Amino acid sequence: MSTLIYCKNSIAASPYYIEEVSLNVYSLEELSYYIINNVYLLSSKLMNTELCNWIGRELKMPNLAKELHTMVQNNSPLHIFVGHILSANGYASNKEIKDALTIIATFENKSEAERRKLRADRLMASGKLVDAIYEYEILLSEDIARTMPRVVEGDVYHNLGCAFAKLFFFEEAIRCFDEGYKRNLKKQTLYQLLYSARCAKDKAAFDDYVLKYQVPRTDVEEVLQVVSRATSKEDIIGFDNTINDMLNGNNTEETSETINNVIQNWKNEYIKLCRI
């Protein structure tokens, strides 16, 4: 069921157009919703005379518009400007406002590339893998990627590879880790590249990357041991034994129920990871 937001302030006859995301907003509550849910995408572009005029003219809030005009003229910090907007209506709670302003204060002097990476990393950490993949791919495909140091670009590829790997898209993960390691030369990225090749059961690719990057034998053995331990967990072995029992004709009602429960849990977890 969708959430309804009561707008106690005026609704604009003409919307304010947020060019960065191609979005029209018609009320202060809608503007607040956009701010709260896109804090990592905000920039000083939000502080402009046009927005101030729109708030005064369309939303009939001349006092707020005057305050915001003064901030624009004085080149005030972005988080102060945003704080006045969020506090002028009842959309966000005090905690939500405080959290948003804290985040904005930490990145308002960062580049657009750094802000987008922070947003993507946050989505990744919260388990929203599809959204994170979208943000990382935008970051790598746009001109803003050229402003990133090469090692940071490599880290973005690394994180994108992790998101793909968690969704079992190992071929895409391999490509990302390869591009990442070319740029950041970090051992953890190289290891993830080899892990993905091994999990994809692509021995030829695994051997090719070992040769390509001259991976020491000790590192290769460590990677193989990690993969072996991950695939030798008790629940995995138990599921494998249950499948073998079915293949051997020992298909009992209990066996079927066990397998169905495991598969359903996997489906639920995967659906959760794919949520947008």
Q: Contact at 8 Å (CB) between 49 and 72?
A: yes
| Predicted local distance difference test score (pLDDT) of residue 111 | 79
With CA atoms as reference, report the closest residue to 12 among 47, 60, 75: 60
Q: Looking at 51-202, which runs of residues are DSSP E strands?
A: none
Half-sphere exposure of 203 (CA within 13 A, CB side): 0
Burial class (CB in 10 A: 0-12, 13-18, 19+), 218: exposed
| Predicted local distance difference test score (pLDDT) of residue 238 | 67
Q: Contact at 8 Å (CB) between 68 and 81?
A: yes
The single-letter code of the amino acid at 218 is T
| Predicted local distance difference test score (pLDDT) of residue 107 | 82
Spatial separation of the C-alpha atoms in residues 191 and 177, rounded to whole Å: 9
| Predicted local distance difference test score (pLDDT) of residue 2 | 47
What is the torsional sign of CA 24, 28, 33, 35? positive
Reduced to 3 states (helix: H, G, I; strand: E, B; else coil), residue 47 is coil
Spatial separation of the C-alpha atoms in residues 10 and 16, rounded to whole Å: 13
Contacting residues for 215 by C-beta, under 8 A, at least 6 apart: 190, 194, 209
Q: Contact at 8 Å (CB) between 238 and 255?
A: no
pLDDT digit string (tens) for the chain, length 276 residues? 345 555 666 788 999 999 877 899 999 999 999 999 888 778 888 999 999 999 999 999 999 999 999 999 999 999 999 999 999 988 899 999 999 999 899 887 787 788 888 888 988 888 889 989 998 998 898 777 778 889 999 999 999 999 999 999 999 999 999 999 999 999 999 999 999 999 998 999 999 999 999 999 999 999 999 988 877 666 666 666 667 766 666 666 666 666 677 677 767 676 766 665
